[in-house]
Structure 1
């Protein structure tokens, strides 16, 4: 069985003043598979090491099954950790590496041998028991590392990006096997990754971190459909600058550059709340699946017409991604913690470098000369950008750069954030159709 992990205002501050984790609170249920998701440097690995006892806790409380664990030694926590680097003993065979935790506990040799063979058979590496790590592939070494963690049947698994060094095909296969093994043991698992697709595929819930702060924790579906802020909603999301127009005697609309998206009546709960931010700068989020190329089928009552200009086609094999310009301005996620995060200046410098590069090469946002939202402009704009909108298309479609594409936007799946990046009127009881 697993253990319940409870974090209450957990914090980590290094001697140089860097705050790696900031007053983070959450509970991981017994047997749950929780994924910590975030970019490099957000504090997710530090948090994992604090749970394991490899990092001291600067503030707050850590409870394992209701027992205060702040000062417990790693060996007292019944936790197994799998590292990104595998951390195998190079001079030991596969069998010795897997059985090492039991050997340290001075368990009976026959019992250790039986457990090692059982685990190796489950992981499909029985034929490798006499091999040393240097003769194994990356996937085989990862299985050995997992076998060493599984063999002593811990109540908690902690995994720090264990698959990131493997190729995509092997990573997809191993994560399925890994999930099956952890489920079979009943152990509580906390898994660290920066890969959103991996997080959504593995997690019962996903906890998103940024600059040491927990942004949101929820099921993958709810997290994707109802992000709390623009940072959580950014992956696979088009983010545009815009404003709300809500005339008393007219139709409410969201404008982005030269084009507008009128909203359906009756308004949804979220759309009704847009009246309070009328005229204020907003960020409009559009998922690729909320946009389709207009064809001979009629638009639904929830779809609104817009026009895009093809800037670039990204072929993915099973689909193509079209980068389009709408004549608006692509938005970046606001740096909400710029005044507090110790590593924010480097991020601002990187963003400034990109802006300077785009300025010097003429790759700036632009506006379409046509004021309407249903007809394409007579001539494509002179400046070319990579486009502020990305949509999915069939792999067989052949669109040319500069081609005008009629689009239909499903207004039910619009995400609207204020200028700080917080979602306008988040309603956790409503999960829209995707």
Structure 2
């Protein structure tokens, strides 16, 4: 069985004043596989080492199964850790490396041998028991390191980017095996990685960190569809989300639209609850997020009731084998993720402000009960969108795409799938209480 791990405002500050981890609060349930995801230097490995007892805790509390564990020695925490570097004893055979934790406990030799053979068979390395690490490939050495951790049956596995030194194909194979092995033991697992594809494939939940601050903890599905902020939205998903500068245009007696500069995107009527909330931020600088699957190239099929037309100019075509990625310009301005506000944790952002303003707006005007006069859809301008050199938009296309640089492409945008953030990068739409539609 696993252990429940609870962090209460856990913090790490080094003697030079560097704050590596800032007031992280998180609960990992018994048997859960949680992934810590973030860029290099965000504090995820430091947090893992604090849980393992390899780093001292500067503030807050660590609880293992409800008992405070801040001052427990690593050997007292019933935790096994797997590192990127394998950390095998070079003069020991595979069998000796796997069985080392049991040998240290002075367990019976025959029992140790039986456990080692069983674990080796599970990991598919039972034919390598007599070889030393120098005779093994990278993938085989990582299986030995995994076997050494599994053989003692700990209640917690901590894994610090264990597959990052391996090639892509081997990583994909080993992460599936690693997940199966940890599931079979029932242990609680925390896995550190900077690879969002790996995080989304492995985690029951994923915790995204930035600059030592926890941004969001959620299932992979919700993390993708309902990111807490622009950083999470841009870090999760391949290809990366399209982020553009825009403003909301919301006339009292007309159709709401989002202005991207050279072009505008009208919103469907009647307005959804998500789009109604945008009235309170009209005129303010916003970041508009569009996943590539929310955009399609207009073909002979008709637009749905939720699709609106725009025009893009091809800047570059990126061939991926199974698909092509078109980099397009809309004549707007591509946005970058805003910097992290100092000490500002956003994994539970307050979103009541916009909702309260919306209710006040309803009471004062009653506009949402009216039927505004609907002018014709705002169409793309006749002139070419301004060329920026780098397209603001990435759109998926068929692998046999023949589109050329400079070509004008008609697009259809599904307005239901807009992700809208304020100037600080906090999401204001869609409504965080709704169920994502994927």
TM-score, normalization by structure 1: 0.90
23-32 vs 252-261, greater mean Cα deviation? 252-261
Q: Are 1:400 and 2:404 matched, yes or no?
A: yes
Output aligned runs, 1:129-208, within 5 Å: 129-208=129-208
| CA apart distance, 1:271 | 1.1
Q: Which residue in 2 is equivalent to 1:23? A: 23
Output aligned runs, 1:278-357, within 5 Å: 278-337=282-341
Contact 1:311 1:323 in 2 (8 A): yes
Q: Which residue in 1 is equivalent to 2:349? A: none
| CA apart distance, 1:376 | 6.4
RMSD: 1.6
Q: Which residue in 2 is equivalent to 1:92? A: 92
Q: Which residue in 2 is equivalent to 1:430? A: 434
Q: Which residue in 2 is equivalent to 1:417? A: 421
Contact 1:320 1:395 in 2 (8 A): yes
Q: Which residue in 1 is equivalent to 2:271? A: 267
Q: Which residue in 2 is equivalent to 1:369? A: none
Cα distance in 2 for residues equivalent to 1:389 and 1:431? 26
Unaligned runs of 5+ in 1: 342-371
CA deviation string 1:198-223 (max 9, x = no partner): 11110000000000000000000011
Cα distance in 1 for residues equivalent to 2:276 and 2:113? 66
Relative to 1, partners in 2 of residues 1:333 and 1:285: Cα closer, same or farther, differing over 3 Å?
same
Contact 1:306 1:373 in 2 (8 A): no
Relative to 1, partners in 2 of residues 1:406 and 1:425: Cα closer, same or farther, differing over 3 Å?
closer
| CA apart distance, 1:431 | 2.6
In the alignment of these two chains, the number of paired residues is: 403
Relative to 1, partners in 2 of residues 1:201 and 1:243: Cα closer, same or farther, differing over 3 Å?
same
Contact 2:264 2:380 in 1 (8 A): no
CA deviation string 1:345-391 (max 9, x = no partner): xxxxxxxxxxxxxxxxxxxxxxxxxxx9645655575x551211111
Unaligned runs of 5+ in 2: 346-376
Q: Are 1:49 and 2:49 matched, yes or no?
A: yes
Cα distance in 1 for residues equivalent to 2:138 and 2:273? 50
Relative to 1, partners in 2 of residues 1:139 and 1:377: Cα closer, same or farther, differing over 3 Å?
farther
Q: Which residue in 1 is equivalent to 2:370? A: none
Q: 1:250 aligns with which of 248, 251, 254?
A: 254
Contact 1:413 1:432 in 2 (8 A): no
